[in-house]
Amino acid sequence: MKKISFFLMACTILFSCTTTETKKTEKKVNDFAIIIHGGAGTILKKNMTEEKEKEYKAKLEEAIRVGYTILQNGGTSQDAVIKTIQVMEESPLFNAGKGAVFTNAGTNELDASFMDGKTLNAGAVAGVTDVKSPIELAVKVMTDSEHVMLSGKGASTFAKEKGLEIVEPSYFYTERRFKSLERIREREKTELDHDDKTAAFYDSDIKNAKFGTVGCVALDKNGNIAAGTSTGGMTNKRWGRIGDAPIIGSGTYANNKTCGVSSTGWGEYFIRSQVAYDISAQMEYQNKTLKEATTDVIQNKLTKLGGTGGVVALDKNGNMSFEFNTAGMYRASMDDDGNLVIKIYKE
């Protein structure tokens, strides 16, 4: 009889603990929400003018309010992500769309991806040179083709067939980004031996030549999560290099069971770590909270591997997380009460 009583007591305690944990992870904090980033890196207040800081904050606010208004009015997370990212793609402040960095060949090659948390469907493009909005094209790949990723000329042909806006490559030219390329080229010519170019480049200049990617995650009133990421890649990139931004599971991931994630940083490490998916997987299989998962992946796994950058993430209950291991990350969020948070530096 005592054994039976002890067994029942143990079951009661176990059930109580399980219920407590379930309540912790299933508590609803926002009916809808949106979170964005404009890149992470060596962003220090001492290097930022007051005018430039205001400019970045104003653009972040403009972008997130566009998506927030869509969500507030009952629109979809997909529309909110697209329209929000397009605001940043059209700004020369960020390394995406209009402000894309230059390749070693002096061209702009754009990458983007999108994922729908309800269906787990996704679309992505890489190496695009003449499509005004890469994020819009990524969504088109998802909705209007049987594929997940298109690249280069094929992606451009698809965009034309679908009636997306095509621009001359010169549309993406900005003096600021071109001068960045020239500085790296000059350094390679004057300071490096031919045999050491690649190693030294990746060890030094690349650390500040890969940031500026933009991304957005949104949760709508129907409980659907969407995530998107758009980038110009890495300054001075060669050989058709593709980073994490268009890779589902690395730069972008969304699942209504768990969360949505958009990444920014040194893409090679994010690909090797499958950063975006790992956050979702830890939540699904280890019952971690969003904060626990993002902290482990960025501050533990990614950092130990040698990667730098960060993520913005939003879970199915409206919890939000900014997580990065760099000096700063352009970022903003809004909850269903309209509370706006805009930050740049590490705090």
Mean predicted confidence (pLDDT) in 107-112: 97
User: Are the C-beta atoms of residues 248 and 239 closer than 8 Å to each other?
Assistant: no
| Number of residues assigned to the chain | 347
pLDDT band per the 50, 70, 90 thresholds, residue 212:
confident
φ, ψ for residue 327, nearest 5 deg: -70, -20
Q: Say if residue 328 is exposed, middle or buried (CB neighbours under 10 Å; 0-12, 13-18, 19+).
A: buried
CA distance 6 to 150: 61
The per-residue pLDDT for 197 is 42
CA distance 347 to 343: 9
Residue 244 has pLDDT above 80, yes or no: yes
| Per-residue pLDDT tens digits for 295-340 | 999 999 999 999 999 999 999 999 999 999 999 999 999 999 999 9
Largest CA distance in the chain: 86
User: Are the C-beta atoms of residues 244 and 250 closer than 8 Å to each other?
Assistant: yes
CA distance 161 to 113: 19
* Arithmetic mean of pLDDT over the chain: 89
3-state secondary structure of 73: coil
Q: Is 213 a catalytic residue?
A: yes
Residue 196 has pLDDT above 70, yes or no: no
pLDDT band per the 50, 70, 90 thresholds, residue 1:
very low
Q: How many CA atoms lie within 13 A of 147 on its CB side?
A: 13
Residue 22 has pLDDT above 90, yes or no: no
Residue from 213, 229, 235, 289 carrying the catalytic annotation: 213
Q: Which amino acid is at 340?
A: L
Residue 264 has pLDDT above 90, yes or no: yes
Residue 105 has pLDDT above 60, yes or no: yes
Mean predicted confidence (pLDDT) in 270-286: 98
Least Cα distance to 76 among 113, 37, 116 occurs for 116
pTM of the model: 0.88
The per-residue pLDDT for 347 is 78
Domains of the chain from N-terminus onward? 32-345 (3.60.20.30)
| Per-residue pLDDT tens digits for 170-187 | 999 999 999 999 899 888
The position carrying tokens 């399980």 is 18
Higher pLDDT, residue 87 or 14? 87
Residue 198: in which H helix or E strand, if any?
helix 197-203
Residue 191 has pLDDT above 90, yes or no: no
The per-residue pLDDT for 190 is 75
CA distance 68 to 65: 5
